[in-house]
Copies of this chain bind each other. A is one copy, B any other.
Amino acid sequence: MESGKTLLAAAQELGVTIESLCGGKHTCGKCKVRVSESNSEESSRKPGRKNPSPFQLEENKFISGQERQQGYRLACVAKLRGDAIIDVPEESRFVPQVIRKELKGISVDLDPGVKSYTLELPPPSMKEPLGDFERLERALGNISGLKDLRMDLPILQTLPEKLRAGNWQVTALVWMDHAVLDIQPGQAEEFYGLAVDIGTTTVAAYLCDLKSGQVVAADSTMNPQVVYGEDVMSRIAYTITHPGNGLDHLQQAILEALNGLAQSTAKAAGILPDRILEMVVVGNTAMHHFFLGINPHHLGLSPFPPAVHRSLDIKARDLGVKIHRAANVHMLPIEAGFVGADNVGVLISERPYIQEEMTLIIDVGTNGELLLGNKERILSASCATGPALEGAHIKFGMRAAPGAIERVRIAPKTLQVKFRVVGSEKWSDECIGAEIGAKGVCGSGIVEAVAEMFTAGVLDRNGRFSKSLSHDRLRPTDKGREFIIARAEETAIGQDIAISAADIRSVQLAKGALYAGAKILMKVLGVKRLEKVILAGGFGSYLDPRRAMILGMFPDCALEKVLIAGNAAGEGACLALLNRSKRIEAESMARRVEYIELTSHPDFTEEFVNAMSLPHQKDDFPHLEGI
């Protein structure tokens, strides 16, 4: 292996995928590996030269003294200077994320942007000296009433052959009643649209049959932009520190993901990607700008203006999206600087604007987005929740991949713990040790663990470990104490999986931001009580409403009125793909929603500090009484 590369880069070249949430930025500590044997190629010449390169101070944060003795290193820091044998521990192995962006189910009248018309044209004659396009237009007008049609160049180029190949019987695919996107000889084959939700961490795609309105395939992938920064602000920062090509790197990364999803969903449906005639894309404002190659710098500076609010239709080929060569990409509009097209997707999917009930919609992601209102008025806000609720920046945090602890129960007195991992139907107490195979804790597992630790008395209201409590699951570390959820023998990583004081703090910050945000919106709207709470987002799908409320993620509400919405943003994209009136609805509702900049509200800081408690005021949670 070439000398001078990091172990992470070397492993990637060999096809070994090491977990690396931060993308090699030395900040997540997930890429810990053990160097078991090494040989410096240059040792004979330079005896002092070590292989791998010497231990760096920044590794101290993630590697204990004992681990250092055993040869542990961060793969993104240590550089190869010769051959070496590297062990990648189970917890550092990259496991593809489970697709956790299911839709709760699409139900909408079918009125897609692209429609097909089967036509029979009279062949050209001296008496009817019409051009091929005018001949097509007349026939199309006769059966559909459409007029003033336009034709995209790639289709015009092959129009003469297509008409003749079908012996003047053809199917025309028309976008928005005016642009002819394709002509097929004879009867139409099926044609498709792709709805895409570009999340900061996960990109989900839903392939829809535009003739039946069915979702025929779905897939998701990690947003490859994570290598340039874990959250929106760090990616914007990347474009600023790399003015030459930073934006291009981000755009190419997301394009690669989209083209991959177009390929994979098309393959699953047994078609080629060129049968995809339209794409509808949602994403937060930064994802929107990165995808379109729009300079995002000003998004990061107050007053955070996006380059454009309205919806856009852009030729897929102008973006480099490899679907049908005349296809358009429809971007849903943006609400405000940090409340993007993804939230518009949530909006048109959940439609709070037609509801009587005062509804709070929380879209949980790396960036949390809130909607509060009903048919009278709707407010929106954005909260920097951080990645804790997605399992990042948590000591044993991981994505919702097989082996991730997603549910946790702690018996109040015995502090006996049982848990369930992604990919298993059984709780840990129904299995035998090795069979359990826990690898870490994902977002919903962290919420449940902290909520259960609180109700079991392990944590006090401030999130501190109970001083009076003594238990073998509660043990000291360098930095305070930690609570063991899974004992080493129940794991696949050979060590205890525990929740640390720092982890709890991260969760408190995240849920505090959401809670405080909701409270500010309630104040602005003059609302005392929520009548409905909708938890959306890939994370939301697997969240337990009761424990989310115990944790204090949102203000009190009747538990039966706390609903899980799945990937509502993605669902909104599907709806806009299948019914063009949803696009008009999106445009007008995006303008109707009033954006509230939380941090500029005078009460925000106080609310935020209060909201860090677990749950901070018992009086605020009458529905939790009796816990």
Contact = CB atoms under 8 A, between A and B. Distances in A.
Interface in A306-345: 306-310, 312, 314-315, 318-319, 334, 336-337
B156 A307 contact: yes
A4 interface: no
A158 interface: yes
A161 B305 CA distance: 12
Given A153-B318, A159-B308, A295-B160, A303 B126 contact: yes
A293 interface: yes
Interface in A349-382: none
Number of copies: 2
A208 B415 CA distance: 84
Interface stretch (A130-138, A385-393, A406-414): A130-138
Nearest to A149: B310
Contacts of A626: none
A308 B126 contact: no
B157 A293 contact: yes
A405 to B, nearest CB: 41
A125 interface: yes
Contacts of A125: 303
A126 B597 contact: yes
Contacts of A126: 302-303, 597, 600
Contacts of A600: 126
Interface string A288-305: 000011110110001101
A9 interface: no
B336 A129 contact: yes
A524 to B, nearest CB: 14
A127 to B, nearest CB: 9
Interface in A158-185: 158-161, 164
A153 B309 contact: no
Given A124-B303, A160-B297, A133 B310 contact: yes
- Smallest CB-CB A-B distances: 8 pairs: A131-B309, A133-B308, A124-B305, A126-B303, A131-B306, A131-B308, A160-B298, A157-B293
Interface of A: 124-126, 129-135, 151, 153, 156-161, 164, 292-295, 297-298, 302-303, 305-310, 312, 314-315, 318-319, 334, 336-337, 595, 597, 600
11 contacts: A124-B303, A129-B305, A131-B306, A131-B308, A132-B307, A153-B315, A153-B318, A156-B307, A157-B293, A160-B295, A160-B305
